């Protein structure tokens, strides 16, 4: 399987850039080592990736400068997910949109810059731009949040196979809530970062793999894929070979790899 290459146009929909020249936000809980576009290009080459979505990490709060600079270095093959709040001027949203922003991130775990009350007003503000809300939370709490999420005027992108901490059984109420979101046709799920849910069974993560396989079987047209490079907070991050092997396990056929790695992100991010 290691000899199988990713299809042309493959997109990594979630990675971060870190630069110690820029201040850490007061809300942040981690300041990872520097990770540059040049460093990431080695990963791109090894995996055969053509496109990338650069996601604002919690380290920089509402200051998107580091990620904007990274996107400018990559050029037309990059898109952005930024962090904005309900007070961000429309002129700034226009600037971000012109720079490649296609979503607003909500990290609902320690270190996130925004909390739940900000989500609906931000979603109203970004909806005219065609952006989505990118959500990271403990997926086990989804049943309590699903009504509010369904009321948003934007698509929703759920990070890291739902980031259930710990992963439930596929028959659980929490996973059923995620499936019901995807069933609406307004929600996407990123197949990425299983280590954010559990460290059991690395590097194949069987509990997370069980959930990923259900999603792939049920809704391959609503899935995205990502490396989560540089794996912030991980003492023993996945190697490129381990990422490739896990990806080919989750996406076992050329047809599903074309859909998840190329066609779906092209549609969502406008490549």
Sort 129 into a burial class: Cβ within 10 Å, 0-12 / 13-18 / 19+.
middle
Sign of the dihedral defined by the CA atoms of residues 208, 214, 216, 219, in that order: negative
Q: How many residues does the chain have?
A: 271
Q: Under 8 Å CB-to-CB from 82, ≥6 apart: which residues?
A: 56, 64, 67, 96, 101, 103, 104, 105
What angle do the packed helices 65-74 and 37-47 form, to 10 degrees? 50
In this structure, how many other beta carbons lie within 10 angstroms of the beta carbon of residue 184?
A: 12
Q: Distance (Å, rounded) from C-alpha 33 to C-alpha 230?
A: 9
Sort 185 into a burial class: Cβ within 10 Å, 0-12 / 13-18 / 19+.
exposed
The catalytic residues are 228
DSSP class of residue 33? P
DSSP 166-212: S---TTSHHHHHHHHHHHTTSEEEEE--GGGT--TTTTT-HHHHHHH
């Amino acid at each position: 399987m290691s000899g199988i290459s990713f299809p042309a146009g493959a997109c990594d929909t979630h990675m971060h850039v870190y630069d110690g020249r820029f201040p850490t936000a007061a809300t942040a809980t981690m300041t990872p080592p520097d990770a540059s576009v040049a460093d990431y290009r080695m990963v791109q080459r090894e995996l055969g990736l053509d496109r990338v979505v650069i996601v604002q990490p919690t380290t920089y709060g509402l200051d998107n400068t580091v990620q904007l600079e990274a996107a400018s270095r990559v050029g037309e093959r990059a898109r952005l997910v930024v962090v904005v709040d309900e007070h961000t001027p429309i002129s700034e949203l226009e600037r971000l949109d012109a720079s490649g922003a296609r979503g607003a991130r909500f990290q609902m775990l320690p270190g996130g810059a925004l909390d739940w009350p900000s989500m609906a007003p931000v979603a109203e503000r970004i909806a005219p731009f065609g952006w989505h809300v990118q959500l990271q939370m403990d997926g086990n709490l989804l049943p309590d949040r699903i009504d509010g999420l369904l009321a948003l005027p934007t698509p929703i992108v759920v990070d890291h196979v739902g980031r259930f901490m710990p992963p439930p059984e596929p028959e659980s109420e929490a996973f059923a809530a995620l499936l019901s979101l995807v069933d609406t046709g307004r929600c996407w799920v990123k197949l990425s970062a299983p280590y954010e849910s559990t460290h059991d069974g690395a590097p194949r993560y069987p509990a997370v793999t069980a959930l990923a396989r259900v999603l792939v079987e049920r809704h391959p047209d609503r899935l995205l894929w990502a490396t989560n490079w540089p794996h912030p907070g991980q003492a023993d991050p996945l190697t490129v070979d381990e990422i490739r092997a896990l990806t080919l396990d989750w996406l076992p056929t050329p047809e599903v790899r074309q859909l998840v790695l190329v066609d779906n992100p092209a549609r969502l991010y406008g490549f």
